[in-house]
Structure 1
Amino acid sequence: MTPILFYGVPEGCSFGAIVALEWSGRPYQLGRIQMPDQVTSEAYRRLNPLGETPTFMTADGQVFSQSAAILRHIAGNPADPRLDEMLSFLTTSYFGGFSPLWQAVEGASEADKAFLIPSGRRKVARAHAQLEALLAGRDWLVGDGPTIADAYFFGIARWNEFHQAIDRSAYPAVDRLYRRLAQDPAVRFALAIEHEEPATSAGGFRGHVSLEDALARLAVPA
């Protein structure tokens, strides 16, 4: 069975896993999960009880979630403390910086927005300042080339365009990394997939699969 990544749209944090799959060159399929409706459905919760994306189904039918775990599985790398450190920062501090801004657009009252938006912008600015320090003049987050950390970074960093939280150019190293990744074929592929535009894979993509068909593979009633 071909592995399946269930990714959330629009603007899901599962974006980085699509990039990582493209970089891996191995066969995979994608399952498109609409947020917030489908991701919280009873059918999807049979794969992920938390009602979140991403979720990954391996070739032998194992199912697990959480971005860091999925990215690690895709990369198949041995333990690397520096990579683990960077992924931990990205999945907590960097991701979390945008949380108040997402809360503001997900049904918050005007009074709550008056607090959430300025708070979110401060958090995003702080996270970018921290990431600027962690980059320390390097071209990539870890090592001498792109890794799963860079893939995950871009998937979160693009949220700044949606929320208009900060001026990224105030963080030169972070801005250079973002612009470099924006030209990567795997990143461009993932963006096209999200927007349902024509997308050219490096060769591993084997098409989309519906949630119902994926559940049928596991003999789980949809």
Structure 2
Amino acid sequence: MKLYYSPGACSLSPHIVFREAGLPVEIERVDNRAKKTASGDDFLSVNPLGMVPVLKLDNGETLTEGPAIVQYLADMKPESGLMPKPGSMERYRVLEWLNYITSELHKQFTPLFKPDTPDGYKTIAKENVIKAFDRINAHLAGKPYLMGDTFTVADAYLFVVSNWARFHNIDVAQWPNLKAFQDRVKARPAVHEAMKAEGLIKAAA
């Protein structure tokens, strides 16, 4: 399988899940602006929407959208515990968090990255991010991860998206539970390896 990614983008979430599950993966960097892959291919031929992540399966099919990809990968290695068993309430809780992170964090950050977003709308989006961080911080009180003691695909997604705060003058330290969560996840060996592979941290770090 091949994962198309852009360093530090939401594609880092399935990259982390690959490594947490112990699944072999080939990664190919994408230039989001030029829509070119590292090998020189037209990325729009891979995903006409022009967005990462894209998972290319061994049979040639492609799968897009991070929350779908991480579920697919976790279900390939159910013993990893990254996704609770089908039909369980715990699984629906993880899905609940994936959807919350998608709508209340990921999509609120999106206009903050766009230079043509009106300042007034950026203010609203930033306020929405802060509200989401308030809720997440409260939920993480006394918990190492969103589901308690078990690291899941939702934690990988939250880690990646919450780290975008630093690009927008949002100091996560004001949410001590969230900050502790970020530090805890970053210290996981699989997360460290994924970030190192994407050039986000130095090899010796």
What range describes the TM-score normalised by the shorter chain of this pair? 0.7 to 0.9
Q: In the alignment, is residue 81 of structure 1 matched against residue 89 of structure 2? A: no
Give the counterpart letter for 1:75 in structure 2: A
Partner of 2:14, secondary structure, is helix
- Greater displacement, 132-141 / 12-21: 132-141
Give the counterpart letter for 2:34 in structure 1: D
- How many residue pairs match? The answer is 190
1:185 corresponding residue in structure 2: 189
Partner of 2:6, secondary structure, is strand
Give the counterpart letter for 1:189 in structure 2: E
Q: Structure 1: give runs of 5+ residues left out of the alignment.
A: 201-222
Q: In the alignment, is residue 18 of structure 1 matched against residue 23 of structure 2? A: no
**Structure ID, larger Rg:** 1
Give the counterpart letter for 1:175 in structure 2: K
Which structure's relative contact order is higher, taking Cα pairs within 8 Å and 6+ residues apart? 1
After TM superposition, give the deviation of residue 38 of structure 1 in Å: 1.6
- Greater displacement, 129-138 / 79-88: 129-138
2:29 corresponding residue in structure 1: 32
* Percent of residue pairs bearing the same amino acid type: 27
- RMSD across aligned positions (CA): 2.4
1:97–1:123: 8 Å Cα contact kept in structure 2? Answer: yes
2:116 to 108, 112, 135: 108
After TM superposition, give the deviation of residue 143 of structure 1 in Å: 4.0
Q: In the alignment, is residue 169 of structure 1 matched against residue 173 of structure 2? A: yes
Distance 1:174 1:82 in 2: 19
2:110 to 95, 99, 102: 99
After TM superposition, give the deviation of residue 61 of structure 1 in Å: 2.2
1:219 corresponding residue in structure 2: none
2:44 corresponding residue in structure 1: 45
Q: Structure 2: give runs of 5+ residues left out of the alignment.
A: 76-82
Runs of 4+ in 1 over 6 A off after TM superposition: none
TM-score, normalised via structure 1 length: 0.77
